Every structure is written in structure tokens, then in C-alpha cells.
């Protein structure tokens, strides 16, 4: 029988044990990576089939994805990709923000910046306040849970909004208003959510501290995005290789986001700033004509992949929630969130009715009904402290609001736009853009 060698120095034996543990750890990591890759391949296959089927059935693509996720949950298909704040916020959200901002014309955005900023500041605060007060009064929630829920559900989700408006074929000022608002108000919502968490923990910042935090988040994000975009423009101008140009824009998207989060400022604002700069100034010579075409195709596909994974996972996790047990608070929450969105749009738009930023009444209706909620709200809900009272109730109700947003609002956005004359009556586009 083979006997292992003995060592006079016990340190050599410890090194051997450490090496064995490292090998086991490495093998486990590789096995987990293989499982994740297999899960991603499965989700991409399903998303491609859903896109084809949704186009035939004239169904909104994101609705089809969520339905597919519900079917996977019902069949108990073992998908081990968790829907966490880290996955959504740091991996899947940046390409969606960057791709949306890449196509926003700065000259048009600058014209409506005043009213957009009003929507993303005053509107978000009003919406959060209405929802929080109502959940405390009518659902019987404690103030910590009500305030946190009001904050996390106040901001419209750029993932849902951008996908829905692309499918509906909306262009012009209306699309600019809603997409820019949905992207920008994430920074405001993050500040409101941080304040709500501080209150829930027993330490609320004062008005001055809150204002300072908002300014720090906003301008810190703009600075981070501007620095990364400037670096990319400088480097991209030194090459004619479209693959290198794509690589630099990838660095700008995720790099700006991560750099901003490292300094505790808004990664969403940073990523949007980088996308705006590269989309508006990259065509002035830093990106070649072919490089810009390649960059556009790459980010369109990146957005498609992110959307697909997010909404299938949303469907899977909604299928695991016990909605019937929270039917009453979920119904109250849906009504309050809808009311909060109305308060965030109509009174704010009324303030600008005699100015050059006036928003048409029919556009206000679209902004109101287009305030979709999605993965961002779920990520914030899942990130609530585990010891917070009524945490599970907040998560379940958040899933219910997202379900209403996808099935009721997203699926009726096309008919509403046709009725209001924003898209031709014969326009029947569904599926993907």
C-alpha cells in the first residue's frame, strides 16, 4: 500500500493541504461557471424563440419574455442565475443605459432639460410620498417599510420603458422625454431610497444633507462619465479598427458606471453621460463611419441580451412569489403607485404650461401610463436589510406592481399610442424593435 511521504518540516504539509484546497476551490468555480454559461445559453435560446413568436402573435416582446419566465418557474427548470441587485445594476443595466443615451440627441435634450429635471426631482419625491403615505395608512405598513417601498417604486425603470417604446415605434420629443426621464430619475430615486433606508435605520439626514447628497450624486456621475468618454474619444481617434472602437465604447459603458459607484455617485448618470458624449461627438471624427455602424450593431445586440435575461428572470421570480397571500396590499400598492405617477406628471407639467417647455396633454397621458416599473425596483427591494420589518411583504408587493406594469401597461401602450395619434392606426409592430 502506497504511503504518502513524510516531512520533517510541518510547513510543507500545510502547503500541500492549501494547494489541495485551492485546487478544489478552482474546480468548483469552473463547474459553477459552466452551469452559469449553460443557463445563459438556455435563456438566450428562449429569448430568440420568444422574439419570433411575439412578432407572429403581435405581442409586446417583454410580455412574452415574462410569460416565458413564468412557464420556466412552473416547470421548475433549474436556472441558477439569481436576480440580484449586483446582476441587474452592475452587469445588465449599463448596456441598456448606454445604448439608450447613445441615440439621444443632445441638442434636443438640452431644449427640454428644465422640465425633465423637474420630473426627475419634484416628480419622484411626490410619487414616493404619495405611495409611502398610502401604504402606511391603508395597508397598515410601518413607516420604515412604507418609506422604502415608496422610494424604490417611485422611479420608472429604463429597462422597461426603453424596450416598450422601441417596440411601439415612438419617436420625436415624446420618446426623448420619457426615455431621458426614466434614465435620469434613477439618480434621484437612489438618493430618496438612501434617505428612506437611513430613516428606517433610525438616522435621517436633514434637508441640507439630502440636497448635498443629490448634488454630489448628479455632478459626480457627470464627471465620471465625462472623464471616461473623453478618454475613449481621444483613444478611438487614433485607430481605424472597428473592433478596437467597440472595445473602447465597452470600457466607457461599464467603466464609467463602476468608476462612479466606486466614488459613491450615480453610476446611471455616469453611464448616460458617457453614452451621450460618444453618441453626439463620436461622429465628429473620433469614430470611423464603419466603426460607428459596428458600434451601433454591437450595442443593439447587447441591449437585446440584457433585456432578454432581465425579463425572463423577472418572470421566473414572479412565479415563485405567493401573490395570493398579499392580494390586498398588492392591490392597494398598484392603485397608489398609479396615483403617485399621476401626481408626478400632471401637476409638474402644469407648472410649465405657459412656457416653451409645455407638454401636450396627450403626451402627458403617455408619460403617465408609460411609467413602467421593472428590474430596478426589484433589485432595490431585494437589497433591503434582512432584519427590516415587513421586508418579505415589500418584496412580494414589488413583484406584484412589476407584474401589473408589464401585463397591463406595456401590453396596452401600443393601443394607447394609436388612439392618441402618436403612431399610425395601421401600425401593428410587436416583438422586437
Q: Which domains does the chain have, with CATH numbers?
A: 45-419 (1.20.1530.20)
Average pLDDT over residues 86-107: 86
Which residues lie below 8 Å from residue 267, measured CB to CB, with a gap of 6+? 89, 90, 94, 221, 256, 257, 258, 260, 261
Cα-only R_g, the chain:
23
Q: Each residue of 396-420: pLDDT tens digit?
A: 999 899 999 989 998 888 888 888 8
CA atoms of 331 and 15, how far apart (whole Å): 60
Chain centroid to CA 300: how far? 16
pLDDT of residue 124: 93
Chain centroid to CA 82: how far? 16
Which residues lie below 8 Å from residue 261, measured CB to CB, with a gap of 6+? 90, 267
Judge whether residue 15 has pLDDT over 50: no
- What is the 8-class DSSP label of residue 421? T
* Residue with grid cell 416565458, as numbered in its chain: 68
Q: Each residue of 257-291: pLDDT tens digit?
A: 999 999 988 888 899 899 989 988 866 556 777 88
In the chain, count H helices and then E strands.
19, 0
- Most confident segment among 122-136, 199-213, 262-276: 122-136
149 vs 166, 238, 315, 394, CA distance in Å? 28, 48, 20, 6
Average pLDDT over residues 169-179: 83
433 with 166: CB under 8 angstroms?
Answer: yes
pLDDT of residue 351: 95
pLDDT band at 117 (very low <50, low <70, confident <90, very high): very high
395 vs 60, 130, 320, CA distance in Å? 25, 19, 12
68 vs 51, 82, 202, 317, 430, CA distance in Å? 11, 17, 42, 12, 16
Average pLDDT over residues 305-334: 87
Average pLDDT over residues 138-160: 88
pLDDT of residue 28: 62
CA atoms of 55 and 203, how far apart (whole Å): 51
Q: Give percent of the chain above pLDDT 70.
A: 86
For the chain, the residue count is: 433
Is the Cα dihedral 125, 149, 328, 413 positive or negative? positive
Q: H/E element holding 377? A: helix 375-382
- Residue 12 is placed in which grid cell? 510543507
Amino acid at each position: 500500500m502506497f504511503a504518502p511521504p513524510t516531512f520533517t518540516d510541518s510547513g510543507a504539509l500545510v502547503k500541500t493541504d492549501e494547494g489541495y484546497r485551492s485546487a478544489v476551490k478552482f474546480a468548483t468555480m469552473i463547474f459553477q461557471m459552466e452551469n452559469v454559461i449553460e443557463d445563459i445559453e438556455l435563456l438566450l435560446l428562449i429569448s430568440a424563440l420568444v422574439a419570433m413568436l411575439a412578432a407572429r402573435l403581435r405581442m409586446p416582446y417583454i410580455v412574452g419574455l415574462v410569460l416565458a419566465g413564468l412557464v420556466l418557474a412552473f416547470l421548475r427548470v433549474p436556472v441558477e442565475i439569481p436576480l440580484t441587485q449586483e446582476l441587474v445594476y452592475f452587469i445588465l443595466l449599463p448596456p441598456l443605459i448606454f445604448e439608450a443615451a447613445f441615440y439621444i440627441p443632445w441638442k434636443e435634450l438640452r431644449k427640454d432639460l428644465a422640465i425633465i429635471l423637474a420630473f426627475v426631482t419634484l416628480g419622484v419625491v411626490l410619487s414616493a410620498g404619495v405611495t409611502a403615505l398610502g401604504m402606511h395608512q391603508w395597508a397598515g405598513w410601518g413607516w420604515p417599510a412604507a418609506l422604502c417601498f415608496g422610494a424604490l417604486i417611485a422611479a420608472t425603470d429604463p429597462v422597461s420603458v426603453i424596450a416598450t417604446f422601441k417596440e411601439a415605434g415612438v419617436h420625436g420629443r415624446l420618446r426623448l422625454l420619457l426615455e431621458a426621464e426614466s434614465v435620469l430619475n434613477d439618480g434621484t430615486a437612489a438618493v430618496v431610497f438612501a434617505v428612506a433606508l437611513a430613516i428606517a435605520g433610525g438616522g435621517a439626514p436633514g434637508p441640507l444633507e439630502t440636497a448635498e447628497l443629490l448634488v454630489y450624486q448628479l455632478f459626480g456621475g457627470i464627471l465620471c462619465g465625462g472623464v471616461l468618454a473623453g478618454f475613449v474619444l481621444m483613444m478611438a481617434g487614433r485607430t481605424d479598427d472597428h473592433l478596437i472602437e467597440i472595445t473602447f465604447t465597452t470600457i466607457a459603458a461599464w467603466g464609467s458606471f463602476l468608476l462612479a459607484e466606486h466614488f459613491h455617485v450615480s453610476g446611471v448618470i455616469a453611464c448616460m453621460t458617457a453614452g451621450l458624449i460618444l453618441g453626439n461627438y463620436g461622429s465628429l471624427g473620433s469614430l470611423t463611419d464603419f466603426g460607428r455602424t459596428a458600434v451601433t450593431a454591437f450595442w443593439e445586440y447587447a441591449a437585446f441580451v440584457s433585456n432578454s435575461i432581465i425579463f425572463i428572470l423577472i418572470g421566473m421570480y414572479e412565479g415563485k412569489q405567493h401573490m395570493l397571500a398579499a392580494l390586498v396590499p398588492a392591490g392597494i400598492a398598484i392603485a397608489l403607485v398609479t396615483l403617485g405617477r399621476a401626481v408626478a406628471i400632471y401637476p409638474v407639467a402644469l407648472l410649465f404650461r405657459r412656457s416653451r417647455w409645455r407638454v401636450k396633454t396627450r403626451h402627458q397621458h403617455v408619460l403617465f401610463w408609460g411609467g413602467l416599473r421593472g428590474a430596478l425596483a426589484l433589485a432595490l427591494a431585494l437589497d433591503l436589510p434582512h432584519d427590516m420589518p415587513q421586508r418579505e411583504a415589500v418584496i412580494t408587493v414589488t413583484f406584484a406592481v412589476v407584474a401589473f406594469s408589464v401585463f397591463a401597461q406595456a401590453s396596452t401602450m401600443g393601443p394607447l399610442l394609436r388612439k392618441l395619434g402618436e403612431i399610425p392606426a395601421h401600425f401593428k409592430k410587436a416583438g422586437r424593435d
